[in-house]
């Protein structure tokens, strides 16, 4: 349903590698003072200005991490950047530069790669990061994209995964589970389309979910908010695999346990209604859905007053001693259920089997 309908098809070979790179990067401007040299030389040159430098990278493979039949290229470019920026913000740092490396098979014309780069450019503009380099090569099959993000932060503010303390509060940003449900909706529509290409899907009830899947936003704002509130989290991670598995990472690396309260999990109304429609448990979706790109962090109890009432932040539980384990305290019954790191792959398998 979201097939590439670009009428023009320009063979990439006609541009040559240098032609392609300069064509793709021509509209990118340098926004950061820390970028001394961007695209165009053997290396980019950065000036960290006394701050610590943070580096993170991700490799995305067609058919494994994305599917072009319902992921428009522009969205893919945007999302590939978001996934990396989210990792920088998860360290309580500011993202400032990215590099993009791509491998393309000859089935991709120039117009398709332009689409990809228009999404990358939108992300750079919106998040104030500079594209400072990359690599371009061919692949025998499919598209590969590797993004590296670079960030900067004061040493004292960098927040690791292994420093949560017993009795700290566990806080999550935004809401959970929507990206996973967006994927489910798109999968269903794709199957309907394959049976009847004339069927026009009515996706109004799922706009938020689809947007969360196709155009996630990394939480740059949270790094600012925490800074303004003068809160330095005691530990932090971003939610790519799902709340459950990220909480387990924080706990295991910090050698603490936790209690998460089911009735505190922030859910959008579209998540609740779509879970009912798909006969899914909204708590399971929130815990294991993944791809939300929200931040999960712990704070000292003494910082609670500073974050209280902030609409972006929800306290969902607290850290305990390691021996108490990692538990979900259920709604109503108040039972304690051990958290499991299901991740959204497990959810997916269960769904496609049935």
Q: Which residues bind ligand ADP (CB under 6 A)?
A: 21, 24-25, 39-42, 100, 102, 131, 133-136
Task: Give min distance, CB of 30 to Mg ion, in A.
Answer: 20
Partner interacting with residue 134 (select from Mg ion, ligand ADP, none; CB below 5-8 Å by kind): ligand ADP
Task: Give min distance, CB of 84 to ligand ADP, in A.
Answer: 14
Pick 146 or 213: Cβ nearer ligand ADP: 146
Task: Give min distance, CB of 37 to ligand ADP, in A.
Answer: 8
Partner interacting with residue 25 (select from Mg ion, ligand ADP, none; CB below 5-8 Å by kind): ligand ADP
The whole-angstrom distance between residue 285's C-alpha and the CA centroid of its chain comes to 16
Pick 81 or 209: Cβ nearer ligand ADP: 81
Pick 21 or 329: Cβ nearer ligand ADP: 21
Q: Binding residue per annotation — 118?
A: no
Partner interacting with residue 63 (select from ligand ADP, Mg ion, none; CB below 5-8 Å by kind): none
Q: Binding residue per annotation — 241?
A: yes
Task: Give min distance, CB of 61 to ligand ADP, in A.
Answer: 16
Pick 135 or 194: Cβ nearer Mg ion: 135
Task: Give min distance, CB of 101 to ligand ADP, in A.
Answer: 6
Task: Give min distance, CB of 130 to ligand ADP, in A.
Answer: 11
Which residue is nearest to ligand ADP, using beta carbons?
Answer: 133
Distances in Å between the Cα of 160 and the Cα atoms of 1, 139, 249 are: 42, 36, 11
Q: Of 40-48, 85-93, 130-138, 286-294, which part binds Mg ion (CB under 5 A)?
A: 130-138
Pick 73 or 100: Cβ nearer ligand ADP: 100
Sign of CA dihedral 272, 304, 258, 333: negative
Which of 135, 154, 221, 263 is the binder for Mg ion (CB under 5 A)? 135
Pick 18 or 269: Cβ nearer ligand ADP: 18
Sign of CA dihedral 295, 299, 301, 303: negative
Report yes or no: 275 and 214 within 8 Å, Cβ to Cβ. Answer: no
Write out the two tokens for 156: 């004292």
Task: Give min distance, CB of 113 to ligand ADP, in A.
Answer: 9
Report yes or no: 99 and 148 within 8 Å, Cβ to Cβ. Answer: yes
Pick 44 or 90: Cβ nearer ligand ADP: 44
Pick 40 or 63: Cβ nearer ligand ADP: 40
Task: Give min distance, CB of 137 to ligand ADP, in A.
Answer: 8
HEC-encoded secondary structure of the chain:
CCCCCCCCCCCHHHCHHHHHHHHHHCCCCCCCCCEEECCCCCCCEECCCCCEEEEEEEEEEECCCECCCCCCHHHHHHHHHHHHHHHHHCCCCEEEEEEEEEEECCCCCHHHHHHHHHHHHHHHHHHCCEEEEEEEEECCCCCEEEEEEEEEECHHHCCCCCCCCCCCEEEEECCCCHHHHHHHHHHHHHHHHHHCCCCCCCCHHHHHHHHHHHCCCCCHHHHHHHHHCCCCCCEEEECCCCHHHHHHHHHHHHCEEEEEEHHHCCCCHHHHHHHHHHCCCHHHHHHHCCCCCCEEEEECHHHHHHHCCCCCEEEEEEEEEHHHCEEEECCCCCCEEECCCCHHHHHHHHHHHC
Q: Does 17 bind Mg ion (CB under 5 A)?
A: no
Q: Does 125 bind Mg ion (CB under 5 A)?
A: no
Q: Which of 204, 180, 343, 349 is nearest to 271 (CA)?
A: 180
Q: How many residues bind Mg ion (CB under 5 A)?
A: 1
Q: Residues at the annotated binding site for ATP?
A: 117, 134-135, 161, 240
Residues that bind Mg ion (CB under 5 A): 135
Q: Residues at the annotated binding site for Mg(2+)?
A: 42, 56-58, 87, 135, 238, 241
Q: Residues at the annotated binding site?
A: 42, 56-58, 65, 87, 117, 134-135, 161, 238, 240-241, 291, 344
């Amino acid at each position: 349903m979201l097939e590439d309908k670009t009428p023009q098809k320009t063979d990439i070979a006609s541009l040559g590698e240098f032609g392609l790179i300069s064509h793709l990067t021509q509209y990118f401007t340098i926004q950061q003072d820390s970028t001394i040299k961007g695209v165009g030389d053997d290396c980019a040159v950065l000036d960290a200005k006394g701050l610590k430098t943070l580096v993170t990278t991700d490799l995305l493979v067609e058919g494994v991490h994305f599917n072009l039949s319902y992921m428009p290229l522009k969205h893919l470019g945007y999302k590939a950047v978001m996934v990396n920026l989210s990792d920088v913000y998860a360290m309580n740092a500011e993202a400032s530069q990215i590099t993009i490396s791509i491998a393309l098979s000859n089935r991709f014309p120039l117009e398709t790669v332009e689409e990809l780069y228009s999404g990358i450019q939108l992300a750079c503009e919106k998040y104030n990061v500079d594209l400072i380099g990359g690599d371009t090569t061919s692949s025998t099959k499919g598209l590969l994209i590797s993004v590296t993000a670079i960030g900067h932060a004061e040493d004292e503010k960098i927040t690791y995964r292994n420093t949560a303390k017993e009795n700290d509060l566990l806080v999550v940003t935004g809401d959970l589970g929507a990206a996973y449900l967006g994927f489910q909706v798109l999968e269903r529509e794709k199957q309907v389309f394959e049976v009847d290409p004339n069927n026009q899907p009515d996706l109004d009830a799922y706009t938020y979910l689809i947007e969360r899947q196709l155009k996630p936003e990394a939480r740059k704002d949270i790094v600012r908010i925490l800074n303004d509130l003068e809160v330095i989290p005691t530990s932090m991670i971003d939610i790519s695999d799902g709340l459950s598995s990220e909480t387990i990472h924080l706990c295991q690396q910090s050698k603490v346990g936790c209690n998460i309260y089911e009735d505190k999990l922030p859910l959008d109304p579209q998540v609740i209604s779509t879970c009912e429609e798909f006969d899914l448990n909204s708590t399971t979706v929130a815990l294991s859905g993944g791809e939300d790109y929200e931040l999960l962090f712990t704070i000292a109890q003494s910082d609670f007053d500073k974050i209280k009432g902030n609409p972006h932040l929800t306290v969902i539980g607290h850290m305990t001693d390691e021996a108490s384990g990692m538990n979900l305290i259920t709604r109503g019954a108040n039972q304690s259920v051990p958290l499991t790191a299901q991740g959204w792959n497990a959810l997916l398998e269960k769904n496609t089997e049935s």
